[in-house]
Amino acid sequence: SQQGEEDPQALSIQEGENATMNCSYKTSINNLQWYRQNSGRGLVHLILIRSNEREKHSGRLRVTLDTSKKSSSLLITASRAADTASYFCATDARWGNNDMRFGAGTRLTVKP
């Protein structure tokens, strides 16, 4: 089964607003990553946060990780129409399967 699950499934906001997406996972992890997918295209890596980190920033992106709650959040500030895409979290488990698993994603629509 998928390791991570994003919430909400879909999010619609106005340009300039902030967008927050959440990811919950089931087992202890080494790293958690966020990816973006524009319609019909391959995924693009956004940011990686390690299990011993609590927060990372990259431009307008802010990611937090709470290992006690097995959850992460992705915040996009001052959103733009070009941010419209699907966003996925991916995790690699510390024990068990030696692979990376993705959640079902959050579909973000930013209205101009």
Residues at the site binding other proteins, with contacts judged by CB under 8 A: 1-2, 29-31, 33, 35, 40-45, 48, 50-51, 88, 90, 92, 94, 97-105
Least distance in angstroms from the C-beta of 97 to other proteins: 8
Q: Which conformational region is residue 78 in: left (phi greater than 0), alpha (psi within -120 to 50 degrees), or beta? A: left
Query: Which of 2/14 has CB closer to other proteins?
Result: 2
Task: Kindly state the helix (H) or strand (E) to which residue 53 belongs, with its residue range.
Answer: none
Least distance in angstroms from the C-beta of 85 to other proteins: 14
Query: Which of 13/48 has CB closer to other proteins?
Result: 48
Q: Which two tokens stand for residue 55?
A: 């927060």
Query: Which of 15/51 has CB closer to other proteins?
Result: 51
37, 88 Cβ separation under 8 angstroms: yes
> What does the alpha-carbon distance between residue 105 and residue 36 come to, in Å, rounded to a whole number?
9
